[in-house]
Copies of this chain bind each other. A is one copy, B any other.
Amino acid sequence: MSRADLAREIGLTKVTVSAVVAELIDEGIIIDIGPDDRPGVPGKRPTLLTLCEDHRRIVAVDLTREGRLSGAVMTLTGESMDRRRLETLLCLGPEGVDELTNFCQELIAASATPVLGVGVATPGLVSPDNNTVRAPKRGWSDLPLEGILTERLNLPVAVGNDANCAALGEFAFGATEGSYVLSILVGDGVGAGLVVDGSIVPGPKGGAGEVAHVTATVNGDGAPWGTPTTCVCGRSGCLGTLLSEPELREALKGLDEAASEAWLRAVGQRLGAILAPIVAVLDLSDIVLAGPTDLLDGPLLEAAHDSLRERVWPSMNPIPRLAMSAIEDRAPLVGAGVLVLSRTLGIP
């Protein structure tokens, strides 16, 4: 891009853009790669600029899976340069924070260039007010993770809910088409994340996207499951008792192909029914499913799509794109990186 392009894009004047660009060139963040010689419109040839990807790196960590720390050193454009994994059973309570700190420090040390900041995608509730984390499964209640890590690492730290980060990752580097993106993350449980115009919608207390305990069944609705499983919440029919990796694998155990497909279709159909009101209220442009491809990508996804099309009328606006994640299990990780970008550089 040239300075003039930037000015048009951002809406600032050429003068202002030139001044800012000069500053960024001084700092080494932007590089002047000379005039664009391709003939086209009349006028002086623009001088092209490019982002120096090696100027700063981002460290991102994903805590989605229980017993695993997943991390990466990324460029400013979301490319993972160095991915690491740590299988551990200790990541609970205060010890978990220590372990996380060490893991971050390792990644920071592994970065070839200075680190812009550290992004963390964690399960549980992240309060939008004070950024404390409430994750019962991790033994964290109102843990000021951002503050602790900022102090220990001496770097800007951004903490976000994993499903929200996933949505952000899909929006920024996935195959999404629009600006209203819902991401459904299927792992040990189910979580959803919503991104509108590039910003996470956290909910008033950080509880948005907690869809595991929405009732997905209707009494006697003719699904292959007989009596629905009782959920940890004490009720039955929760989405989480149907749609999660362990639950699905358990349910499909011993079923033949036809029965498996019927089961998956039934789950997909219920997912679609839950998505329908959300699609209508938000006019979503994209819904992205992330999780085990062998389970989700097939009858389940198709049934969800069919169910959605049956239950929402595309009169004013088309049905959203509903597809598997193009960046798969990297979504929360990449999204945590984007969170750092938006916090430190104000993007967007």
Residue numbers of A with Cβ under 8 A of B are 125, 134, 178-180, 182, 192, 194, 196, 201, 203-211, 213-215, 218-219, 221, 233, 235, 238, 273-278, 280-283, 285, 310-313, 315-317
Contacts and interface: CB of A to CB of B under 8 A. Distances in A.
A235 B201 CA distance: 33
Q: Chain A contact residues: over half helix, strand or loop, or mixed?
A: loop
B277 A207 contact: no
A180 B196 contact: no
A210 B276 CA distance: 11
Given A205-B317, A235-B313, A316-B125, A211 B283 contact: no
A277 B275 contact: yes
A281 B313 contact: no
Contact of A283 (B196, B207, B278, B281): B207
A283 B201 CA distance: 10
A192 B233 CA distance: 30
B274 A214 contact: no
B215 A311 contact: yes
B204 A179 contact: yes
A196 B207 contact: no
A204 B285 contact: yes
